[in-house]
Amino acid sequence: MRVLVIGSGGREHAIAWACERHGHTVTMAPELGEVTTDDVDLVIPGPESALVAGVADECSFRKIPCLGPTSKQARIESSKGYSRHLATSLGVPGPRYERFEEMDADSGVAWASEFGAPVVVKFDGLAAGKGVVVPTTAAETEAAIRATAALGPYMLEEQLSGPECSLLALCDGTTAVALPLAQDHKRIGEGDTGPNTGGMGAYAPAPVPYDADELLRTFVLPIVDYFAAAGTPYVGVLYAGLMLTAEGPRLIEYNCRFGDPETQAVLPLLESDLAELALACTRHAVGDEEIKVRPGAACTVVAASPGYPDDPHTGAPIHLDGFSTTDWANQSTNVPEATLFPAGVDDGRTAGGRVLAVTGLGDDLAAARSAAYRALDGVSFPNMQVRRDIGWRAPGALLTSYASAGVDIDEGNRAVERMRGAVERTLGADVLKGVGSFGGVLSARRILELGDPVLVASTDGVGTKVELAARLGKVRGVGADIVNHCIDDVLVQSARPFFFLDYIAASALDADLVAEVVTGMADACEAAGCVLLGGETAEMPGVYQEGAFDIAGTLVGVAERSELLPRDDVAAGDVLIGVASSGPHTNGYSFLRKLFDWVPMDVTPPGFEVPLGDALLEPHRSYLGVLDAALATGAVKALAHITGGGLPENLPRVLPDGVDAEIELGSWPRSALFDLITELATGVDTHELHRMLNMGIGMVVVCAADEVDTVQAAIPEPTWVIGALVRGDAGGRTVHLL
């Protein structure tokens, strides 16, 4: 076929490329112009502006097949008020909203104030994907309303939260077919920070827990059915921008054309002939066509001009290394699985905000992403803006359990049970607690300062958190981690720390690194009145990867036998008081490193007070000084240190048989870090998430119901009643998350 593609951006170059790869002849033009039936067999408009201006209407008049809705139907994108009203009337799920007229800022400010929840401010018209402001404060909301009201009519919508995805559907007036789901990256900055843009990258297929056909039935077919019933069949692309909230998918917006840059990610996956599919749409027969999609994934990364999106600076020369530069419309690269799509390019110079995009293909998203970035390494122009985290939310969506990150809690529990018999054969009469407890407990009558003293010992390691610390060059905190972890492990049995022994192993010893780690240990020991008695450093090339190291340690504490915890009177009816953690502490980092694998650690996400890397490396806190006064009241029946296994695995250690724990989720505030983890880990259920991480509670105090006020008053910081003990099945000790 002879195909005319209207437009000249990255999206249009991707459409042209998709048609040409199946042998069609493609012409690109900014408008329909003088084209006649003899010149072209099919028109595919790219930008929404052409559709709003009536290119499909003109094609219909000239009897030229066109993949695009009429100008009246294109109001579904050109007027957000019309679009939202139509969707709501058809029962399409979306946010609460209100529309306001131009210059009427006061009404909008009043509505937002009365609404009492965060809102999104949207210009009710075409804005090239940039007419949306997501304010975070009341002052920002008012400023955004007043600025947008000055431009024209506007919308205020309930601010939803959750991952987004883009559903692109080909519609033939009576039915529709879905292309692979994609996820766009709207904000200019890494970690989804900064102002909205037209899109800085995309990937497909998006790993979401919904089938594309299921979403098609909810968000696209009601629109197709509406226009069909009205006698004006909708022919063209219908793009539904969706947010996957905790309550289910919700409509963010409709577009009447292919998305940009989603098209650059989706069409390279399409093995079917795009031009034939488009022609089938114009003949009301797309339902008869087979949609073939290649296996694997695609990742598109956009290179933008400096100053974009507010004031892009253009005219700079573009340097390409490893590309064929003879034809900008058909670039080949020395990365076989990557394709360059020009957008704002004129004679080899930057000529727009978004200059070009590179799409990589691969057997999975990691391979596609690698191909895109390797090819993009050959592109440069002054002050080029490129996000290095495209696809960063995908790892969280792909992880479904701790085991999927390489750690199996159940297998670890099995190992403890397998070793229990061998360990218990070595125990004498003076050993009161052994394997499976927070720490071993040995009678220590020789310590004459106490009436009946016992020694409480704990050995542990920092785990894979050390990899992140080494990578960021911030290792002092992991020295404090190992000491405080062990202090808390003996504290739960009422012991105070006596001495600590450390162990550091590495592929090759680095004296500066060792000194920094040991300094962190010394700081923590000094704060706890504990002696850093000594330790061991080991150099083991071939056992650890180059640059890797590991930390472990043993702490011995002293307790009075009569004060040992847990007490024998822990029972149903007792109350659980939660004490805050300082972060993930030293658990869950195999999961967390995968979750945040593609976002730079120096990014400060919205709501954070420090960069992401600093938040993840916040040291494991010691609860010694926090709980001393509470322990002195005599009201504490038990303490549970929330470490590996989280609340579900650690609370049972201090419960008697036949007593369960009920935890009220939401009864304690979560930090911005745990909120972001929850948002990203969409494939992980609540129980699994709380088995991997402490989720904000690092220590749980068990006391009688009538002692709650006494215990909380003795703790010099906010605490929360997070649940209670209840009767359970005989022999069981189960934690129920409510």
Residues recorded for the chain: 738
Judge if 619 and 737 occupy the same domain.
yes
For 60, the token pair is 């219909």
Give the number of other Cβ atoms within 10 Å of residue 337's Cβ: 20
Residue 624 lies in a domain: yes
Q: Please tell me the distance from the alpha carbon of residue 199 to that of residue 161, in angstroms, as a whole number.
A: 19
Residue 716 lies in a domain: yes
Residue 70 lies in a domain: no
Q: Give the end of a domain, one of 518, 533, 564.
A: 564
Looking up residue 310, the CATH number of its domain turns out to be 3.90.600.10
Judge if 463 and 378 occupy the same domain.
no
**Residues 72-82 pLDDT 10s:** 999 999 999 99
Residue 175 lies in a domain: no
Judge if 558 and 581 occupy the same domain.
no
Average pLDDT over residues 282-286: 96
What percent of the chain shows pLDDT beyond 70?
A: 92
Q: Which range of residues forms the domain containing residue 441?
A: 427-564
Given this model, what pLDDT does residue 443 score?
56
Asked if pLDDT for residue 434 goes beyond 70, the answer is no
Contact 90, 82 (CB under 8 A): no
Asked if pLDDT for residue 718 goes beyond 60, the answer is yes
Asked if pLDDT for residue 657 goes beyond 60, the answer is yes
Reported pTM? 0.85
Positive or negative CA dihedral for 406, 408, 411, 417?
positive
For 443, the token pair is 């009678």
Judge if 608 and 713 occupy the same domain.
yes
Judge if 693 and 585 occupy the same domain.
yes
Residue 199 lies in a domain: no
C-alpha distance from residue 313 to each of 261, 308, 381, 384 (Å): 20, 8, 11, 10
Which of 358-362, 372-376, 509-513, 715-719 is least confident? Answer: 509-513
Q: Give the end of a domain, one of 508, 536, 564.
A: 564
Judge if 573 and 718 occupy the same domain.
yes
Judge if 553 and 579 occupy the same domain.
no
Which of 35-49, 416-430, 629-643 is least confident? Answer: 416-430
**Residues 328-363 pLDDT 10s:** 666 667 788 999 999 999 989 999 999 999 999 999
Judge if 465 and 569 occupy the same domain.
no
Q: Could you give the number of structural domains in the chain?
A: 4
Looking up residue 494, the CATH number of its domain turns out to be 3.30.1330.10
Residue 635: burial class (beta carbons within 10 Å; 0-12, 13-18, 19+): middle
**Residues 6-15 pLDDT 10s:** 999 999 999 9
Find which of 451-455, 476-480, 484-488 is predicted with most confidence, using mean pLDDT: 484-488
Given this model, what pLDDT does residue 663 score?
95
Looking up residue 146, the CATH number of its domain turns out to be 3.30.1490.20
Q: Which residue has the tokens 């050959």?
A: 378
Asked if pLDDT for residue 232 goes beyond 90, the answer is yes
For 392, the token pair is 């960063």
Asked if pLDDT for residue 618 goes beyond 90, the answer is yes
Q: Please tell me the distance from the alpha carbon of residue 387 to that of residue 260, in angstroms, as a whole number.
A: 16
DSSP letters for 467-521: HHHHHHT--HHHHHHHHHHHHHHHHTTTPEEEEEEEEEEESS--HHHHHHHHHHH
Asked if pLDDT for residue 398 goes beyond 60, the answer is yes
Query: What does DSSP assign to residue 193?
Result: E
Q: Give the end of a domain, one of 547, 564, 581.
A: 564
Residue 628 lies in a domain: yes
DSSP letters for 105-169: HHHHHHHHHHH-S-EEEEESS--TT--EE---SHHHHHHHHHHHHTTS-EEEEE---S-EEEEEE
**Residue 404 or residue 199, greater confidence:** 199
Judge if 384 and 511 occupy the same domain.
no
Which of 142-151, 286-295, 506-515 is least confident? Answer: 506-515
Asked if pLDDT for residue 157 goes beyond 70, the answer is yes
Judge if 698 and 581 occupy the same domain.
yes
Average pLDDT over residues 593-616: 93
> In degrees rounded to 5, what are phi and psi of residue 123?
-70, 130
Judge if 664 and 641 occupy the same domain.
yes
Looking up residue 650, the CATH number of its domain turns out to be 3.90.650.10
Judge if 575 and 693 occupy the same domain.
yes
